[in-house]
Amino acid sequence: MVGPFTHTPFFNTDSELADIESHVRRLQASVHAPPTDRAERVLADVQRAILSTHEAQLQLNIASSAGFDEHRQLWQGKLDDLDQRIADATAALHGLVEELRLVRFQRFAAAMVIGVVALRHLFTPPVDGQPPLISQRYLAGAGFISDGPAAR
């Protein structure tokens, strides 16, 4: 199904980065999740670095096949640096996503506690024998109970 919220994954489905990317997408869709801007930026940086490795690998292959050893060493160094940047960013992104998932869970748990307290307040009858607060509001709105002095 194609819609405004569909997303084509960038990474191979069996990779750690694919798992992290799916966690970021689920966090974006969650009501209780904190802002994911920082995680999205790091994810975009990793994607750009991976695309850059393709260029570096191409240049490395060209230099190797042409016999330009100095050029090959230069591009091999760039490729090694990109691989290290990707590994470092992946580790940082993994930690960031775990923090965001924890905050999402904490917010969800807090919302559930607040919901239980609110429901108890609305549906538990007070000790004075009156109907529960929600029923009082409903009955008053329906005209069954008058808020004014009793009519005779």
**Global confidence as pTM:** 0.67
Return the pLDDT at 131. Answer: 72
In a domain, 54, yes or no: yes
Range of the domain at 77: 16-106
Return the pLDDT at 111. Answer: 92
Q: Name the packing angle between helices 69-123 and 133-142 (round to 10°).
A: 70
Structural domain total, the chain? 1
In a domain, 66, yes or no: yes
Taking 70 as the pLDDT cut, the residues of the chain under it are 1-7, 137, 139-152
In a domain, 68, yes or no: yes
Residue 41's alpha-carbon distances to 71, 74, 95, 100, 152, in angstroms, are 32, 28, 14, 14, 70
In a domain, 63, yes or no: yes
Return the pLDDT at 6. Answer: 59
Amino acid in position 97: V
pLDDT tens digits, residue range 63-75? 988 888 998 899 9
In a domain, 125, yes or no: no
At 145, phi and psi to the nearest 5?
-125, 135
DSSP 125: P
In contact, 64 and 72? CB cutoff 8 Å: yes
In a domain, 82, yes or no: yes
